Structure 1
Amino acid sequence: MKRFIDIHIPISKCNLNCHYCYVNQENSRDRQVSPFKYSAEYIGKALSNERLGGICHFNLCGVGETLIPEETVDITREILKQGHYVMIVTNALLTKRLEQFSLFPEEYRKRLGFKCSFHYLELKKRGLLNKFFDNIDFIRKNGMSISIEMTPSDELEPYIDEVKKICTEREGALCHVTIPRDMTKEGIVLLSEHSFEEFCNIWEQFNSEMFEFKRNLWENKRNEFCYAGEWSGLLNVGDGIMTQCYGMCLKQNIFKDIKNPIKWSPIGKNCCLPHCYNSHSLLGLGVIPEISGNYALERDRVDNRDGSHWLTDEMREFLSHRLEDYNEVHSDEEQIRLDKSWRSKIKVQKKMDRMKTKVRTILK
């Protein structure tokens, strides 16, 4: 695994209405699909094996439901054509979209997976529980990976036994659980009336590797050198803008001229966030080599009915690798130089952003 590329699909529209979702928290539900400036074929060429330096892991996620845009299917196909591995975040309810993926060549499907968001209360209210699990069964039967992930909420606590029962009956294992954030408050704040310790005591019963990994790093500001931006990137496929990570980062348009090389630059020790809220993927895959982890364990489960895995053999083997296995770890001296370089570049970028803002204001 050469790099981890977290792709943003420009969609905020959704077919569900979960109270804890950041779409609701940020009042962006009524927005529609933003335009895609580039074709799927062009995007695939921009993300070629050669240009990225090797085989990469891609995560596709929209602010709303990722599979609503038709372009998601085409973009996924083109990325898989390059030899990469792809996982898509979805509520797994758009059956016709899933059927389109099932028509991909088998060699593509082995490298494709779906992170199925399990919104239990919303599905129960709408009578969609069977459809959710039927679609997951469809994904598995067609040789693609699945991982079921639930956002725990205080309102869900009375239904924990129901959740456990249906997961084990339908998919042979408990779902994974994550840690929700309150997007209405500054910083990175737990979305719960419980203290963090109380919250963890309630939800640790799911024995989720993902939950345990995030739990150990919650409110844990890391000071090691971080390779996000060099070994990973955050890309908006709508316009081609790539940033290093989620905080204050350098940005570039990697689609504007795909003959030009991508500028890979690590965050280093300059992260402005209180802690890494997407730690289960970034740190689990190793952007900070000192933090051990196995991302495959965070996504996989063994089906206790027949011993099969949620991840295909190909996906499980690939996600077991770490980014430092295929990238250079910089010396202390080089890390200091790269940190200084980053601070100089971010000053220039801020100045240019201010100038662009002034120009736009004048033109109005």
Structure 2
Amino acid sequence: MKRFIDCVIPFRTCNLRCPYCYITHTKSFGEKLPVFPYSAEHIGRSLSAERLGGVSLINLCGEGETLLPPEVVGIVHAILKQGHYVMVVTNGTVAKRFDEIAALPADCLDRLFIKFSFHYLELKKRGWLDMFFDNVQKIRKAGGSFSVELTPSDEMIPHIDDAMALCRARVGAPCHVTVARDETSPDLTILTQHSPAEYREIWNRFDSDLFQFKMSVFGEKRREFCYAGLWSGFLNLVTGDLKQCYCEKPIQNIYADLERPIRFSPVGPHCSLPHCYNAHVFMTLGLVPSIPTPPFAEMRNRVCADGTEWLTPRMKKFISQKLGDENREWGRLGKTRVELGRKWDASRLRRKAQALAARLPGGVGRQP
């Protein structure tokens, strides 16, 4: 695995209304689907294995429901044709998209992973539980990998036994559990009225490696050297704008000139977030190699009662790798250059701000 590219589709239209969703918190639901100005083929070529330096892991996730836009399956196929492994995050309710995905070539399906977000209460309220699990089975029977993941909420606690029993019956094992965060909190704290100890005890019933790892690092400010931006990137799938990570500086637009090399550069020890809330991906893939972690495959796989697994052998092997297996860690000199570059960027921005302020009426910002 050469790189991990996390792709966001920036639209907030969804067919569910979950109370713990960040869109609910910010009251920013949309009604329109995104317009993709570039073709699926162009997007696929922008992410060629040659351009990324080798076969990579590409994740697609919408701010709303990922599979609502009709273009998404074509984009997934175009990226798979580049030889990459692809993950798609979905609420599992857009049935016709799963018919389209199941029709992809077998070699593509073997490199495709679908993360089904299991919104139990919303699905039950709408009578969509059977449809959800039917769509999971479509992917499984077609030869793709999958995972079923529950977002814990206080409202869900009385229904834990029912959800676990349903998952055992329909997919052979309990669902995984993530950690819900409060998007209105500057520190992105856990979304619950319970204490951390109570929260851990309640949701540990699922025996989820995903939940246990996230809880082990949740809330910890990361100050180690992180290779996000060099070994990974955060891509706006509509515009082609690539950033180092969620809140970090832009790298370049990778759609504008497909012949132009991508200028990857690491965040280093300067993460802007209060904590790495998606550490179950970034850290388990090895972006902070100084911290030992379990493999990402353990965050996604389950072994069923009949001995089958949620991940295909090929996918399991690929996402059990660390990014450091195919990338070289930097020595002291390289890390020092990152530090100097950060200081240079800060001083340049400061000078620009001072020059702008000096041109304002009254000479605001002028030095005495």
Same fold (TM over 0.5): yes
Aligned partners of 2:302 and 2:178: how far apart in 1?
15
Aligned partners of 2:36 and 2:209: how far apart in 1?
36
User: Taking structure 1 as reference, are residues 109 and 350 closer, same or farther at Cα in structure 2, changes over 3 Å only?
Assistant: farther
Aligned partners of 1:347 and 1:177: how far apart in 2?
43
Counterpart in the other structure of 2:360: none
Counterpart in the other structure of 1:213: 213
* Structure 2 letter corresponding to 1:185: S
Stretches of 4+ aligned residues off by more than 4 angstroms: 346-356
Aligned partners of 1:213 and 1:355: how far apart in 2?
47
Aligned partners of 2:343 and 2:105: how far apart in 1?
45
Alignment of 1:151-190 (within 5 A): 151-190=151-190
Alignment of 1:8-27 (within 5 A): 8-27=8-27
Query: With structure 1 as the length reference, what TM-score do the two structures score?
Result: 0.94
Return the offset for 1:250.
3.3
Preserved CA contact (<8 Å) 1:9 1:60: yes
Return the offset for 1:183.
1.1
Counterpart in the other structure of 1:90: 90
Return the offset for 1:347.
5.5
1:6-52 CA-to-partner distances (Å, cap 9, x unmatched) read: 00123211111111111111222124223212111111111000000
Alignment gaps of 5+ in structure 2: 357-368
User: Taking structure 1 as reference, are residues 168 and 352 closer, same or farther at Cα in structure 2, changes over 3 Å only?
Assistant: farther
Preserved CA contact (<8 Å) 1:87 1:115: yes
Counterpart in the other structure of 1:327: 327
Counterpart in the other structure of 1:295: 296
Instruction: Tell me the SS of whatever aligns to 1:60.
Output: strand
Instruction: Tell me the SS of whatever aligns to 1:42.
Output: helix
User: Taking structure 1 as reference, are residues 332 and 81 closer, same or farther at Cα in structure 2, changes over 3 Å only?
Assistant: same
Return the offset for 1:115.
0.2
User: Taking structure 1 as reference, are residues 331 and 192 closer, same or farther at Cα in structure 2, changes over 3 Å only?
Assistant: same
Return the offset for 1:313.
1.1
Counterpart in the other structure of 1:336: 336
Instruction: Tell me the SS of whatever aligns to 1:192.
Output: coil
Preserved CA contact (<8 Å) 2:34 2:69: no
Alignment of 1:93-104 (within 5 A): 93-104=93-104
Aligned partners of 1:348 and 1:324: how far apart in 2?
32
Aligned partners of 1:13 and 1:76: how far apart in 2?
20
1:283-311 CA-to-partner distances (Å, cap 9, x unmatched) read: 1100001222200010000111x211101
Counterpart in the other structure of 1:361: none
Alignment gaps of 5+ in structure 1: 357-364
Return the offset for 1:345.
3.5
* Structure 1 letter corresponding to 2:280: H
Return the offset for 1:336.
1.4
The alignment of Structure 1 onto Structure 2 pairs a total of residues equal to: 355
Output the aligned Cα RMSD: 1.8
Return the offset for 1:239.
0.3
Alignment of 1:82-161 (within 5 A): 82-161=82-161
* Structure 1 letter corresponding to 2:61: C
Q: Report % sequence identity.
A: 47
The answer to whether the aligner puts 1:277 opposite 2:277 as a matched pair is: yes
Return the offset for 1:93.
1.0
